[in-house]
A and B are shown apart, each in its own frame.
Chain A
Amino acid sequence: MSNSEELERALARYVGAEIGPPAVGPDLVNAPMVRHWCEILGDANPVYTDPDVAARSVHGGLVAPPTMLQVWTMAGVALAGGGGPAADLQQELHALLSEHGYTSVVATNCEQVYDRYLRPDDRVTATTVIEAISPEKTTGLGTGRFIDTRTTYRDAKGERVAWMTFRVLKFKPAQPAQAASPAAAPAKPRRLRPLRSHDNDWWWQGVARGDLLIQRCAECGTLRHPPRPMCGACQSLRWDSVAASGRGVVYSHVVMHHPPIPGYGFPLAVALVELEEGTRIVSNVVGCAPDAVRIGMPVQLEMQDVDEELRLPLFRPVSGAAEEAR
């Protein structure tokens, strides 16, 4: 018997099953929770929060917003926390699918039908049945299975007050590698990227190759930085570039303290470096304490990959310069 047949068989056992004993709302329907919910969602209907208005309304008293239905029985932090042993059949089913590579989940549909308004002091109980598990389907998100559940909500007398169908897709992400890629990882903030355009892309390509380039007018030889399309001295549109030696001195500098900007590491030394070719460039000084940078300090270019995608021309004091400056 193949692995997939085995899975089909295992899945079939869940269809039609109640996921566990009825979920009993830990709190009675109550005014404070209603008020918080209305505030957060911006629902200003006074029949939910103002007893006087509610008393004069068709309801004859306060009622809960119908769409608050799930609030009364849903496990809160416990559900979000996860990790522990499966508390019911639904969690067990999800764990089983995860083991078979359907590691991700997304909610796709939800329908609710209300029999009556809930009122303060109603005790809500929910029973959930797994109605269907689809064969494998391929979607934009990845390949997976739709799981349909139907939940019936009852009051203390056992009378139905509402029911809900809920569908999720439990799937194998289309690009499993994505989770590890920097774009998907919310993890570490990174430096802001320079925007590339026709006028500066060649310069950043030079950096990628390890060269610090200086734009040079092909007519009059004037060097210029930052790059621009026309020579301000002779108006020529013809240009080429030269690789800088990487030697320079600090012309001015600052130390960034506040506000802290994620991705850079504060305090941060930023310097205006005058290259020996005569142009200036803004960069960071590395390899010494930020407050040890001084005007006139000799520095040397150091190409650094500051993250997986960004290489920057940075500068380091030539040996001894930082100590001398002190």
Chain B
Amino acid sequence: MTRTLRDAAAIAGIGQTEFSKSSGRSELQLACEAVKSALDDAGLSPRDVDGMTTFTLDTTDEIEVARAVGIGDLRFFSRTPHGGGAAIGVMHQAAMAVATGSAEVVVVYRALNGRSGQRYSQGVASDVVTSDLIHWSWYLPYGLLTPASWVAMFTQRYLHETGTTSEDLARVAISTRRHAVNNPNAFFHGRPLTMDEHQSSRMIVAPLHLYDCCQETDGGCACIVTTPERARDLRRGGVLIRAVAQAAGAEQEVMTSFYRPSLTRVPEMEVVAKQVYAMSGLGPRDLDAAVIYDAFTPIVLWQLEAFGLCKWGEAKDFVRDGGLDLGGRLPANTHGGQLSEAYIHGMNGVNEGVRLVRGTSLNQPARNDHVLVTAGVGVPTSAMILGKM
């Protein structure tokens, strides 16, 4: 019998810094603070940690964090590539590590000065000399340089083929904002968004308005992954990782998979969905709540379709029916998401997923047996389903 990662790992602690536009400290310090806070939440000491994992995009080496926090010998460390697609990829790495005995307590972290430091919205510059500059060279000379512009290219075609409107995109933003209003950690705490405000906000890259785009944030998040057995004995118990998976699709590019037959599906996310459902034995109907990666509003719609929560082209109806709201079909991004809480590359979403299962979200839905958490769209990506021990 094939062994899978089903119920093979649990999240025993979560931690984060405050979220701001100017942290006034190094990304290393943010990472240390987030890791320490996650360890405290779990009731573990730095010396209990024997594994670490983060994004390739993180500027802080795991051994830097380990030294600073006082973590001792490490038996496992790894990095996951492709920006926000790594958000659950790191959880996959951690789960594999504890499931195989490569490590027992793995720290997952991500910290960035996303507003006061390097801003992703500013796009690819010619000084980013990497191996994938050849890839970007098909877009650099024409000015298609920013994350918003790449997503906008898919969005235009999606609106055209499905009859989805800018107002439907706004409904995604308004829903997450409604949740952020109750969240003191959120940038948009206490500030609801109206349809008019969304529609009159300036164009970033048509058809995407300002409020279709997530924020840029300084902050750090971390969580502790361990075996379910170990988690059971810890202070907060554990939130079980029912299933976790990664995928890249055929004809995949990073953010610019423009040459596939269809521009209005997310094949890699469909592969992820298939895996997490098969692994957990669950289906779309079993999901009670979700943290759906929301770097931009349209990608939430595409994921609803990829995860089978509605048919292709019908995500607009899902959001028109209030499907993402508390009391809706799938309360989603109850922390405010990256659109309205903070952009920590999906890792603040992991923490919210844990809170949802614990029952401690500031916008707690009534049912919380199974919570979907997803990662970046348009890149090789990942997702997990969380559940109770």
CB-CB under 8 A from B24, the residues of chain A are none
Which of the residues B123, B202, B207, B263 comes within 8 Å of A254, measured between beta carbons? B207
User: In the complex, which of the residues A199, A253, A279, A312 contacts B141, with contact meaning CB atoms closer than 8 Å?
Assistant: A312
Query: A282 contacts which of B156, B203, B205, B258 (Cβ < 8 Å)?
Result: B258
Tally chain A residues at the interface, Cβ within 8 Å: 39
Asked if A295 contacts B141 (CB within 8 A), the reply is no
> Would you call B156 and A284 a contact (CB within 8 A)?
no
- On chain B, the residues within 8 Å of A85 by CB distance are none
Closest chain A residue, CB of each to CB of B135 = A226
Contact (A284, B142) CB under 8 Å given A254-B206, A257-B202: yes
- CB pair B153 A255 closer than 8 Å: no
Mask, B184-213, CB within 8 Å of A = 1, is 000000000000000000111111000000
User: Binary interface profile of A, 191-206, with partner B (CB < 8 Å = 1, else 0)?
Assistant: 1111111011000000
Which B residues, 354 to 381, have Cβ-Cβ distances below 8 Å to chain A? none
Whether B205 lies near A257 (C-beta < 8 A) is yes
A200 with B202: CB separation less than 8 A: no
Question: Can you list 7 A-B contacts (CB < 8 A)?
Answer: A192-B145, A194-B140, A232-B251, A255-B206, A256-B205, A266-B143, A312-B142
Q: Knowing that A192-B140, A254-B153 touch, tell me 10 more A-B residue pairs with CB under 8 angstroms.
A: A195-B133, A196-B137, A200-B137, A252-B154, A253-B153, A257-B205, A257-B206, A259-B121, A284-B143, A295-B157
A261 touches B205 (CB 8 A): no
| B141 & A258 in contact (Cβ 8 Å cutoff) | no
Complex Cα–Cα for A264 and B203 (A): 17
Contact A195 B141 (CB under 8 A): no
A294 nearest in chain B by CB position: B160
Give Cα A283–Cα B143 distance, bound, in whole angstroms.
9
> Is the CB–CB distance between A226 and B138 below 8 Å?
yes
Our pick among A264, A282, A295 for the contact of B138 (Cβ within 8 Å) is A282
Give the residue of A225, A254, A283 whose beta carbon is less than 8 angstroms from that of B156: A254
In the bound complex, how far is the Cα of B146 from the Cα of A199, in angstroms? 24
CA distance A190 to B40 in the complex (A): 52
Q: Verify B259–A195 contact, CB threshold 8 A.
A: no
Which of these, A191, A197, A252, A258, contacts B143 with CB under 8 Å? A191
* Residues of A with C-beta under 8 A to B160: 252, 295
Give bound CA distance, A154 to B266, whole Å: 76
Q: Judging by beta carbons under 8 Å apart, are B141 and A280 in contact?
A: no
Q: Decide yes or no whether A251 CB sits under 8 A from chain B.
A: yes
Q: Is the CB of A282 within 8 A of B202?
A: no
Residue of A194, A197, A270, A291 touching B149 (CB-CB under 8 A): A270
Within the assembled complex, what's the spacing in Å between the Cα atoms of A59 and B333?
63
Among the listed A195, A251, A258, A259, which residue makes an inter-chain contact with B157, where contact means beta carbons less than 8 Å apart? Answer: A251
**A195 contacts B205, C-beta separation under 8 Å:** no
Nearest opposing residue in chain A for B206, CB measure: A255
Chain A neighbourhood of B256, CB < 8 A: 282
| In contact, B258 and A280 (Cβ under 8 angstroms) | yes
> In the bound complex, do residue B143 and residue A259 qualify as a contact, i.e. CB atoms below 8 Å apart?
no
CB closest residue in chain A, given B157: A252
Q: B1: CB under 8 A from chain A?
A: no
Binding site for A on B (CB under 8 A): 121-123, 125-126, 133-146, 149, 152-154, 156-157, 160, 202-207, 251, 256, 258-259, 263
Given contacts A199-B134, A282-B258, is CB(A191)–CB(B141) below 8 Å?
Answer: yes
- Assess the A194–B137 pair: CB atoms within 8 A: yes
Chain A nearest CB from B116 CB (Å) reads 16
Query: Which A residues are CB-close (under 8 A) to B145?
Result: 192, 256, 261
| B34: min CB distance to chain A, Å | 29
Tally of A-B residue pairs with Cβ under 8 A?
A: 108
- Chain A's closest residue to B134 (CB) is A197
Q: Are B152 and A254 in contact (CB under 8 A)?
A: yes
Complex: A192 Cα to B121 Cα, angstroms: 17
Instruction: Knowing A272-B153, A295-B156, say if A254 contacts B144 (CB, 8 Å).
Output: yes
Contact A253 B143, beta carbon cutoff 8 Å: no
Please determine whether A254 and B205 come into contact, CB atoms closer than 8 angstroms: yes
A205 to B257, CA, bound (A): 25
User: When the two chains form their complex, are residues A192 and B138 in contact, meaning their CB atoms are under 8 A apart?
Assistant: no
A261 to B136, CA, bound (A): 16
Does A268 interact with chain B (Cβ within 8 Å)? yes
Check B204 against A258 for contact (C-beta < 8 Å).
Answer: yes
Residues of A within 8 A of B206 (CB): 254-255, 257, 267, 291
| B143 contacts A270, C-beta separation under 8 Å | yes
Identify which of residues 130-165 in chain A touch chain B, using a CB-to-CB cut-off of 8 Å: none
The distance from the CB of B119 to the nearest CB of chain A, in whole angstroms, is 9
Contact status of A310 and B141, CB under 8 A, knowing A199-B134, A225-B259, A255-B203: yes
B122 touching A259 by the CB < 8 A rule? yes
* Chain A residues whose C-beta falls within 8 Å of the C-beta of B263 in the assembled complex: 251-252, 272
How far is A193 from B124 in the complex, measured between Cα atoms in Å?
Answer: 12
Q: Cα distance A178–B209 when bound, in Å?
A: 44
- Chain A: which residue is nearest B143 at the CB level? A264
Q: Which 3 A-B pairs have the closest CB atoms?
A: A194-B137, A255-B206, A252-B157
Q: Which residues of B contact A191 (CB under 8 A)?
A: 140-141, 143
Residues of B within 8 A of A256 (CB): 143-146, 149, 205
Measured CA separation A23–B6 after assembly (Å): 82
Task: Contact check, B134 vs A282: say whether CB atoms are below 8 A apart.
Answer: no
Task: From known contacts A255-B205, A270-B144, infer whether A261 and B138 are also in contact, taking CB-CB under 8 Å.
Answer: no
Please, how many angstroms separate the alpha-carbon atoms of A6 and B22 in the complex? 63
Q: Please report the C-alpha to C-alpha distance between residue A195 and residue B129 in the assembled complex, in whole angstroms.
A: 9
B-chain residues with CB within 8 Å of residue A257 when the two chains form the complex = 202-206
B121's nearest neighbour on chain A, judged by CB, is A259
Q: Is the CB of B202 within 8 A of A252?
A: no
In the complex, the answer to whether B140 meets A259 with C-beta atoms within 8 Å is no
0 or 1 for each of A219-258: is its CB under 8 Å from B? (1 = yes):
0000001100000100000000000000000011111111
Q: Closest approach, in angstroms, between the C-beta of A182 and any C-beta of chain B? A: 15
Q: Whole-angstrom distance between the alpha carbons of A118 and B133 in the complex?
A: 54
Docked pose: A281 CA to B142 CA in angstroms? 11
Chain B, Cβ-Cβ closest to A197 = B134
Given A280-B259, A282-B258, A192 and B126 contact (CB-CB distance below 8 Å): yes
Distance in angstroms between the alpha carbons of A291 and B156 in the assembled complex? 12
- B141 cross-chain contacts in A, Cβ below 8 A: 191-194, 306, 310, 312
B200 CB, nearest partner CB in chain A, Å: 14
Q: Assess whether B122 is in contact with A195, with CB atoms less than 8 Å apart.
A: no
Complex: A224 Cα to B336 Cα, angstroms:
42
The CA-CA distance from A267 to B149 in the complex, in Å, is 12
